[in-house]
Structure 1
Amino acid sequence: MRTEAAKRVELVFSLFDANGNGVIDSDDFDLMTGRVLEAAVASDAGAKEAIRKAFRQWWTTLATELDADGDGVVTLDEFRPFVLDPERFGPTVSQFAEALSALGDPDGDGLIERPLFLSLMTAIGFEEANIHALFDAFGPDAEDRITVATWATGIEDYYAPDLAGIPGDRLVGAPAV
């Protein structure tokens, strides 16, 4: 696994541990889902249900694949070596990428405006300066929008163990200047 990917794993674990208790459990995904839905007030019921299902699938996949001792929680040691495994998590990542990027497009025009992108990513737990750096790396148009497809691909790339120099790397550590 590349160094960049390892840093992304550490960040994802900290975000998934939404209640900050040092492990990931079902309650963390309920908390994160609630935060994201609060930010997605303009989205329709179908988009909201899709993100609920995507978060639930994340937890189900983590619990099934990574909870080695069956205690109902996933520790960093259980999480670290496997979460970027495309064979185990590829479909889950794709479902999540599709649901989250669609949630960012409530008017269905195929474009995501920066303010909603910022709200959704903040609800997940990313740092504001890093979110702006990511959005800029996606190459927004003159009206400060990115495509749904660009964001979905960016999410999938974020979970790829062999990629480096991707826009998602801006979410880890200090933002690019």
Structure 2
Amino acid sequence: MTDMRTEAAQRVELVFSLFDVNRNGVVDSGDFDLMTERVLAAAVASDDGAREAIRAAFRRYWSTLATELDADGDGVITVDEFRPFVLDPERFGPTVTEFATALSALGDPDGDGLIERPLFVSLMRAIGFEEANIHALFDAFGPDAEDRITVATWAAGIEDFYAPDLAGIPGDQLVAVRTA
């Protein structure tokens, strides 16, 4: 594995804290069920195919973690188990790609290849990110004059977020400390 940058470590800590939906200090299948339902509730305009794709992506994300990391079979993943695996592109890359594709597609219910800021914010809030950070991320993606980004831009941004050797990427906006 390539050297992990501090920024990547911060991104992973944030992802773990968001996936620990019930705040019990570990990630388990129930957390993924809760996260899936929150995201689907924000994606009311999406069609059944897009909704099923994100449901499948969340299931794969959890099953990949459980298969790869839950060596003792207790059904939970600790942050120490999570950290090195999630930042290993060879082991986790295909799962991230599926997730990035499914989540970015949810942001484009009309299929025009563009994601408007309000739906982006709604989906990202459903995941648990802070609103100020979400807007900073959207701005870092370079929206067009009508305040939209492309599906491809968001999908690539999600994949970059999990890259252990990247820093100075738009996704770093999600871990920046902001004051109101």
Provide the TM-score with structure 1 as the length reference. 0.97
- Cα deviations by residue, 1:97-121 (Å, 9 ceiling, x for unpaired): 0000000000000000000000000
Aligned to 2:67: 64
Higher mean alpha-carbon deviation, 152-161 vs 77-86, is at: 77-86
Paired positions, count: 176
Higher mean alpha-carbon deviation, 35-44 vs 75-84, is at: 75-84
For 1:168, give the aligned amino acid: G
Partners of 1:37 and 1:122 in 2: CA distance:
12
C-alpha displacement at 1:68, in angstroms?
A: 2.6
Aligned to 2:118: 115
Partner of 1:82: helix, strand, or coil? helix
- Which consecutive residues of structure 1, in runs of 5 or more, have no partner in the other structure? none
**Percentage of matched positions with identical amino acids:** 85
Partners of 1:59 and 1:90 in 2: CA distance:
14
- Which consecutive residues of structure 2, in runs of 5 or more, have no partner in the other structure? none
Partners of 1:41 and 1:74 in 2: CA distance:
30
The 5-angstrom pairing of residues 47-58 of structure 1 reads 47-58=50-61
1:161 aligned to which of 161, 164, 167: 164
2:10 aligned to which of 7, 11, 14: 7
Partners of 1:175 and 1:48 in 2: CA distance:
32
Partner of 1:109: helix, strand, or coil? coil
Aligned to 1:25: 28
Task: List, as ranges, runs of 4+ consecutive aligned residues in structure 1 with deviation greater than 2 Å.
Answer: none
Partners of 2:7 and 2:71 in 1: CA distance:
25
Aligned to 2:104: 101
Provide the TM-score with structure 2 as the length reference. 0.96
1:92 aligned to which of 90, 95, 98: 95
Question: What value does the CA root-mean-square deviation take over the aligned residues?
Answer: 1.0
Contact 1:2–1:161, Cα closer than 8 Å, also in 2 = yes
